[in-house]
Structure 1
Amino acid sequence: MKHYDAIVIGSGQAGSPLCKELAKAGKHTAIIEKRFVGGTCINDGCTPTKTMIASAKAAHQVAHSAPLGVHIAGSHINMKEIKQRKDELVVSWRDSSRNSMDETENLDLIFGTATFTGHKTLSVKLNDGKELELTADLIFINAGTTPMIPEIEGLDEVGYFTSTTLLDVEEVPDHLLVIGGNYVALEFAQMFHRFGSKISLLERGPRIMAREDEDVSEELNEILVNEGLKIYTNSQAIKFERQGEFIKATITVNGTEQEITCSHILVATGRKPLTATLAPEVSGIQLDEKGYIQVNEKLETNVKGVYALGDINGGPAFTHIAYNDYIIVYRNLFEGANRSTAGRPLPYCMFTDPQLGRIGLSEKQALEQGYNIKVAKLPMKQVARATETGQTDGFMKAVVDADTRQILGAAILAEQGGEVMSVIQLAMMGGLTYDVLRDGVFAHPTYSESLNNLFMTLEE
């Protein structure tokens, strides 16, 4: 049995910086990682997907450059080169993170799978087959989540991709059936369509992106359909059968059964917490009904000295939220701060093309919370920068409090939507009213300059 001052489980975007800062603060620290340093973001999420999305966008621009007077013939997709570029970038970030840990004094990097065996006690099955028994005064859980696979007849037999395994293909799937209609599903569907796959996408509900306002969902749906994707709403897969090189999918659409023949399947129906093997309940740590670790606003579990950060605590599943979890925990423990998750902003961006940048309340949420609101909306066809670049799909939308003129939220479905959203977020963080942006001086011609015009619509 070896005792540490602190143990961090998982080297994602909370665990990686936290373990180093704990060690630098004089805590004898261990970080336990079962696979690769860097967590989902570096290895299976943000870094590889956005790298490949860049390749897909380049392919799309080449194929649609004629309206700009640029005529290109003979281009083709080389998936092996796309994968190689992605792999090189992933390994570079992963190695950089690991080297930083290796160079940190007072920090032990342990590769293995951790399981709670008692109060603040862990058994670690090392990747080389050996086992360790560890205890610590402080334990920080950053073990993350994994793709959730629905029970569908024949799915295991015909085989399927997840958002992790699809990153490693070296040939473009002929016809990819995507199960799911939210952010991961949509990014992958558009990406592989641009690589050359035929795409059929199944969404159980009446529309894609059910958490967004209807106009946002409908606009992106129209953009993707016009690009050539086939989107089925009110649909689900009920059975799969292998037929030689192809797969027969039996689906229902609006209650009516029909068949689709595809070559490959991507399951993108959400994720589940990695708590089954970890068994935190053995240490008395409370879980919710879905298996997520329950925490308070300071990210501490019901067991004093045990914290859960990132996706595994059931909060918003974004890299930047996990990193902010680290900021909250570290500054509270070692700098005497009093930070919490209460009231923190929740920006996020979906990297379809155009991007969807989101901050604050949606129109629907603002109405549900009883605000007296005004809604500003500007089609990208009326944005100078968009017309100049030929990127006119989408719109900008902001929700403001009609009584205080404060900006409550925004949805920017546009080229560089995440960057424009960030400008609005800064205004919200600074308490600026919408008329400050309406009358502000922004460089011309930029996308952010269109915030003048967006908020002018409220005066019409």
Structure 2
Amino acid sequence: MKYDYHIIVIGAGSAGLVTASGIATIGAKVALIESDKMGGDCLNTGCVPSKTFLKSAHIASAMNDGSQYGIDSGPINVDWQAVKTRIQSIIKEIEPHDSKERFEKMGVDVFLGKAYLLDNHTVLIGEEKITGRNIVLATGSDPLIPSIPGLQSVPYKTNLDIFDLPELPKKLLILGSGSIALELGQGFSHLGVDVTIISRSSRLFQRDEPEVHDTMLNTLSRAGMKIHLNAAIMQVVSIDNDVKVQFEERGIPIEVTGDTLLVALGRKPATASLGLENTKVQCDKKGFIITDQNLRTHESNIYACGDVVGPYLFTHMAGYQAGIVIRNVLFRLGSKVDYKKVTWCTYTKPEVAHVGLTEAQARDQGLYKESLYFPLNKNDRARTDNDRIGFLKLVVNKKGLLIGATIVSEKAGDLIPLATLAIQKGLKPSSFLGIIYPYPIIAESYSSAALEKTKSSLKEWHKKLIHFVFLR
């Protein structure tokens, strides 16, 4: 059968854009369908606006801390309209890279409209039908809004519209304690907003090492943020122009009131009204599309990648999965996803970055030998910058190889790739000792951790032997 397109990609977020551009590069006929804005969540309501916002917040924080460095800037004035204008300007600056015009120049046919699967080869967009040999589902995810008594009766914000607020909040209540909640919560706190976080989780940064929770809970709390964990939300009510959240924390009833409510309770895959029921494509209990290791669905010619698949809802993971799909759709290479070396970063201050296994995961898998820990307050660059909060933790397996790393530090996201490369290459922590680091930088913590291990491994008889052979 002859099809209109070699590939139809549904969704023009990170996963869809990478897939469409990669496949179009070799001359295949590609259709790209987007129901909202080109660039998806990352460009329009996620990574780009939030990181732009956080830069403004961090500048405010630095100005507030100026006295520590001998600088007295006086009371700061936050121009919320200017902050929002800058956010939009950065989006506009990046927008052309993800635009309809750019992809059409690549030879991609871009359709702006809602896609609906009529069968495993046919897609309906409005009243137009197109067919494709293969289809790639990259529809992304949406904010998860759980069923909480009273929530639908009060005004609330999500990451989709938090930066549409006409004025800076005075008291911000946040439901949730994931990356979005903590990044935005701390950001607004830096801008002088009274921030309260309410979460049913028992600790922050649940996927990370327990030391991360301890460090960041102390950091956020000392900065004035109020954090309620183990909270069972009972009800949300509207009082005049405010919102009240009623919950129990360890059995104790508590009420908090704010003028703005942000719901950041996770994400759900965007598969509603997609027509999956007209195909063999299946979803799990949470709605994520089920695929094999090649990212192929139960329909042999349909693949899926990005947030709609999970398990990691990151822009860089969407790009990685898109690469797997490209190789499998075009070249039938049988490429498989490997999530053992997944890297992520939460852009709080300090940042929290991780790759590989945690100590607990390594123990559960019977791989664990030891962990190397180096506190940042022993690093000279951390001292000069007065960014002493944080640590580096390296997890080592029974063969002595690095299998996991966690960094809590300024620019931790920029530092974690060194550990990622070491894990990918199957290196030992001692390999960090072979690097000549410019002095002083935070990355020296890698060699410091390895050096501490080397020193502690030296037995008394080692020292005596060295002295006997070389120093007598």
Same fold (TM over 0.5): yes
Q: Of the candidates 405, 410, 414, which is equivalent to residue 405 of structure 2?
A: 410
Q: Report the counterpart of residue 299 of structure 2 in structure 1.
A: 303
Structure 1 CA distance for aligned equivalents of residues 353 and 25 of structure 2: 36
What's the CA shift for 1:208?
1.5
Q: Contact (CA 8 Å) 1:79, 1:169: kept in 2 or not?
A: no
Structure 1 residues 281 and 438 mapped into 2: Cα distance closer, same or farther (>3 Å)?
Answer: farther
1:452 paired residue among 437, 447, 453: 447
Equivalent of 2:425, from 400, 407, 430?
430
Distance in 1 between residues matched to 2:259 and 2:23, nearest whole Å: 49
* Structure 1 residue identity aligned to 2:141: T
Change in 2 beyond 3 A, CA 1:119/1:343: closer
The alignment-based identity, stated in percent, is 29
Shift of 1:171: 1.6
Cα distance in 2 for residues equivalent to 1:332 and 1:155: 44
Partners of 1:206 and 1:327 lie apart in 2 by 36
Q: Which runs of 5+ in 1 are unaligned?
A: 126-130
Deviations 1:3-51 (Å, cap 9, x if unpaired)?
Answer: 3222100011121132233334333221100111111111111111111
One-letter code aligned to 1:340: K
* Cα deviation digits, residues 122-164 of structure 1 (max 9, x gap): 2223xxxxx2222211101110000000111211211111011
Residue identity opposite 1:378 in structure 2: F
Query: Retained in 2: the 8 A contact 1:375–1:458?
Result: no
Is 1:102 the counterpart of 2:104? The answer is: yes
Shift in Å at residue 343 of structure 1? 5.1
The secondary structure found in structure 1 opposite 2:4 is: strand
Larger Rg, first or second structure (1 or 2): 2
> Alignment RMSD, CA only?
1.7
Q: Secondary structure at the match of 2:56?
A: helix
4+ residue runs of structure 1 moved beyond 6 angstroms?
A: none
2:343 is equivalent to residue 347 of structure 1: yes
- Structure 2 counterpart of 1:19: 20
Determine if contact 2:340/2:356 at 8 Å carries over to the other structure.
no
Provide the residue aligned with 1:64 in structure 2: 65
Q: Deviations over 1:198-217 (max 9, x none)?
A: 11111202212222222111
- Structure 2 spans left out of the alignment, 5+ residues: 457-472
Query: Conserved in 2, the CA contact under 8 Å of 1:14 and 1:326?
Result: yes
Residue of structure 2 equivalent to 1:288 = 284
2: distance between equivalents of 1:344 and 1:372? 15
Query: Partners in 1 of 2:343 and 2:310 — Cα distance?
Result: 17
Structure 1 position 314, deviation (Å): 2.4
- 1:363 maps to which of 359, 365, 373: 359
Deviation at 1:89, TM superposition (A): 1.1
1:266 to 262, 269, 273: 262
Match of 2:52 in 1: 51
Distance 1:379 1:170, change over 3 A: farther
- Could you tell me whether the CA contact under 8 Å between 2:369 and 2:400 is conserved in 1? no
Check the 8 A contact 1:179/1:268 in 2, yes or no. Answer: yes
Does the CA-based 8 Å contact 1:32-1:109 persist in structure 2? Answer: yes
TM-score, normalisation: structure 1: 0.95
Contact 2:43 2:91 in 1 (8 A): yes
Q: Structure 1 residues 419, 96: CA separation in 2 closer, same or farther (over 3 Å shift)?
A: closer
Matched AA of 1:265: L
Further displaced range: 325-334 or 68-77:
325-334
1:182 and 1:230 mapped to 2: Cα distance?
Answer: 15
How many matched pairs?
453
In the alignment, is residue 383 of structure 1 matched against residue 379 of structure 2?
Answer: yes
SS in 1 for 2:109: strand
1:120/1:418 Cα in 2 relative to 1: closer, same or farther (>3 Å)?
A: same
Shift of 1:373: 1.9
Question: Are 1:163 and 1:268, in contact at CA under 8 Å, matched by a contact in 2?
Answer: yes
For 2:161, the equivalent position in structure 1 comes to 165
Whether contact under 8 Å (1:281, 1:287) holds in the other structure is no
Structure 2 vs 1, CA of residues 133 and 325 (structure 1 numbering), >3 Å: closer, same or farther? same
- Determine whether 1:312 maps to 2:308: yes
Q: Which moved more, 1:193-202 or 1:208-217?
A: 208-217
SS at match of 1:311: coil
2:184 to 159, 181, 188: 188
Conserved? CA contact 2:198–2:228, under 8 Å: yes
TM-score (norm 2): 0.92
State the distance in 2 between where 1:293 and 1:51 align.
31
What secondary structure sits across from 2:255 in the alignment? strand
